[in-house]
Structure 1
Amino acid sequence: MNEEVPAVNDDAVHPAARGAGHHPALTGCPWHDVNEMLQAAGLRPTRQRMALGWLLFGKGARHLTAEMLYEEATLAKVPVSLATVYNTLNQLTDAGLLRQVSVDGTKTYFDTNVSAHHHFYLEHNHELVDIHDSTMMLSKMPEVPEGYEISRVDMVVRLRKKR
């Protein structure tokens, strides 16, 4: 019998681990899967990273600010400081497990869906929502200064309620 473990968000695997042919064996158990994701990305699964990772990745694709995650951690009785939350979010982003999305340069969200996609920003409740239109595209890219290349394009479409 040839059984395969279903892949849960293959995009969450660090590109270096993906390129090396190493995919963590994901089980659907958030605690186990966070441990595997951290190790595949080359991050040590400390208690704080595990707890914050469980809060981040245990509820599917989501968009959180550091403050939102800190509030969830506090409610879950996870003993972390806001500085630790910021550091962990930045480490997970650097490792390719999160995608950072800035809105207005004043608010930064961390997206657990690291695949290429764009967002709606709902101004009335400060919510970031994925755009599911795969046919959306830019018609022309700008000239890139010499010595640089485009790493990714983030489009945020701001929405407000009709008056």
Structure 2
Amino acid sequence: MTFTARCLILACGNPMREDDGVGPFLAQWAEEHWRDDPRVQVLCDHQWTPDMAEEIATAETVIFVDCSLDQTPGQILLRELSPASLKPGLVTHHLGAAELLRVAQDLYGIQPRRACLLTIGAGRIDLGEGLSSAVNDALPDAKELLELTVRQLLC
């Protein structure tokens, strides 16, 4: 299997659910930022699903981007990921980033050289457009961290 991207940015979220839209917002920014760089591929959907495993398996590195309800609103965290065990009865319509890495490894026998999860703490995920002030204020730092991480992964 050959790599289709040196760095895959895989974001999820729903822009119609306030801070849940931070993943799609950063994905759109990344798409524009690396538009002319074929080494970077950006994908975004409302949720991560098993059909994304092929893109993950064919990427050299991957950065998952999402909001988190377990963090203070606007808090930015970046952590390394390893494939997680799949739990019995796992829902097939939505997977966490670590479980999706496991699906890619199990289906294709390969996983990215490195995988990271970039999360931004969400304050509100009710129906509605727009980001909370805490998340909006965190966007410059989130973009900077995403850019730095991509640069490091491309080395």
Q: Which TM bucket (shorter chain)?
A: under 0.3
Q: Larger Rg: 1 or 2?
A: 1
Q: Where is the helix percentage greater, Structure 1 or Structure 2?
A: 2
Given the two structures, how large is their TM-score scaled by the length of structure 2? 0.25
Richer in strand (by share): 2
Q: Which structure carries more relative contact order (alpha carbon 8 Å, separation 6+)?
A: 2
